[in-house]
Amino acid sequence: MNIFTIKKKNKQKRRGEIKTAHGIVETPNLMIVATQGTVKAVSALDLKDWGSDFIVANSYHLYLRPGLEVLKEAGGLHKFMNWTKTIFTDSGGFQVFSLSKLRKFKDEGIIFQSHIDGSLHSFTPENNVQMQRVIGGDVMMVLDECMEFPVTYEYAKHSVERTVRWAEKAREEFLKTSPIYGYEQSQFGIIQGSTFEDLRKICADKLIEADFDGYAMGGVAIGESKDYIRDVIDMADGIMPEEKCRYLMGVGEEDDVRYAVEKGFDIFDCVIPTRNARNGALFTKNGRILIKNAKYKKDFTPVEDGCECHLCKNYSRAYLHHLFNAEEILGGILATEHNINYYMRMMKDIRDGI
């Protein structure tokens, strides 16, 4: 099932829409990260008001807390967190790589240690599909192996072969199982291969044979230089299907997003808008503001002129500076609202320019 439609094209740039059971997402667009079923410092109701049409949650975290039993009794993640729009769910492969102190990759799957209590768990391509059925997102990602950077060609080749085998098993499991909550789900494959274009091409060709509903470029923005990230972005148009949605995972710096749109990517996800906000970094059309700096102590102007967010319409830079210096929770809440609004405006401007 192809949930993606291209509406306009300008060279490699594409404007389109993703249609799921929970609405239409205009692309290019950026998913706000809701790792544990929440975007830090904001509610689902706020996100809808600010123009966000989709979020991405994480199977690793939700499997550990609150657990699949709770989510199933709640009727799935949409109901549990009161989010009525589209949800993507990541498989959790990256979180095993980045959070678990003990992890073993085998042909059958991954054995890993919980970062919460040290207990041992196992993800396989099959049980990962089953848990994402329980979570109930509109689009699920397959289990893949996220490689460290840098990595040797030999290791990357072996890892790609494993990722392909897992993807084939995950696709088979997806096609023989049914949604739990009465609406259709989709499944995306993840292209790995580090910075080796021939391995990325081999991986993509194999995943295309499995006919996924969309395709993601994984293993990006995990420590590479900006040049390496751009090299991987440049590969997209040559190896990813034209008619399917193209997802660049984990990339959210504004210049990288704009560059990737130019090269034919449709959707992105990143913690940059929210994580930066909680640390006092706000994005504006005139550049980034570090609100903790002393120069803002008596600056009674808005963070950004013309911005319609609650922060900019009602409070000054001086007040936000005070909130952060006093370690008040409200500072992070207001800053997060602003940054999400900034990114939503940015993505709309990008779409309007295609």
CATH number at residue 181: 3.20.20.105
- The whole-chain average pLDDT of the chain stands at 96
pLDDT of amino acid 274: 98
48 shares a domain with 166: yes
First to last CA, the chain: 26
**Pick the residue with more confidence: 96 or 176?**
176
pLDDT tens per residue, range 340-350: 999 999 999 99
146 shares a domain with 250: yes
pLDDT of amino acid 267: 98
Reduce the DSSP state of residue 344 to 3 states and report it.
Answer: helix
Residue 14 pLDDT > 80, yes or no? yes
Residue 242 pLDDT > 90, yes or no? yes
249 shares a domain with 323: no
Among 204, 236, 270, the domain boundary falls at 270
| pLDDT (average), residues 84-88 | 98
pLDDT band at 102 (very low <50, low <70, confident <90, very high): confident
pLDDT of amino acid 219: 87
Give strand pairing partners of 214: 188, 245
| pLDDT (average), residues 136-158 | 94
pLDDT of amino acid 117: 95
pLDDT of amino acid 235: 94
153 shares a domain with 218: yes
188 shares a domain with 295: no
225 shares a domain with 147: yes
pLDDT of amino acid 100: 84
Q: 244 in the Ramachandran plot: left (φ > 0), alpha (ψ -120 to 50) or beta?
A: beta
Reduce the DSSP state of residue 338 to 3 states and report it.
Answer: helix
pLDDT of amino acid 222: 73
| pLDDT (average), residues 74-83 | 98
263 shares a domain with 167: yes
pLDDT of amino acid 284: 98
Number of domains making up the chain: 2
346 shares a domain with 199: no
| pLDDT (average), residues 194-204 | 95
pLDDT of amino acid 150: 87
240 shares a domain with 227: yes
Tell me 96's DSSP state. Answer: H
Please tell me whether the overall predicted TM-score, pTM, comes out greater than 0.95 for this model: yes
131 shares a domain with 9: yes
285 shares a domain with 258: no
Q: State phi, psi for 273 to the nearest 5 degrees.
A: -60, -45
pLDDT of amino acid 101: 79
pLDDT of amino acid 212: 98
pLDDT of amino acid 227: 87
Cβ atoms of residues 36 and 65 within 8 Å: yes
* Non-local CB neighbours of 275 within 8 Å, separated by 6+ positions: none
Residue 251 pLDDT > 80, yes or no? yes
315 shares a domain with 214: no
| pLDDT (average), residues 273-301 | 98
State both tokens at 50: 């600010």
- Strand pairing category for 245-248 and 120-123: unpaired
| pLDDT (average), residues 129-141 | 98
pLDDT tens per residue, range 37-67: 999 999 999 999 999 999 999 999 999 999 9
Residue 173 pLDDT > 90, yes or no? yes
| pLDDT (average), residues 6-35 | 97
Helix (H) or strand (E) holding 351: helix 329-352
pLDDT of amino acid 221: 75
Among 242, 270, 298, the domain boundary falls at 270
- Structural domain for 141, as ranges: 4-270
Can you list the alpha helix ranges (DSSP code H) found in 115-253? 125-135, 153-176, 197-209, 226-239
pLDDT band at 149 (very low <50, low <70, confident <90, very high): confident
Catalytic residue ranges: 90, 269
Among 270, 291, 318, the domain boundary falls at 270
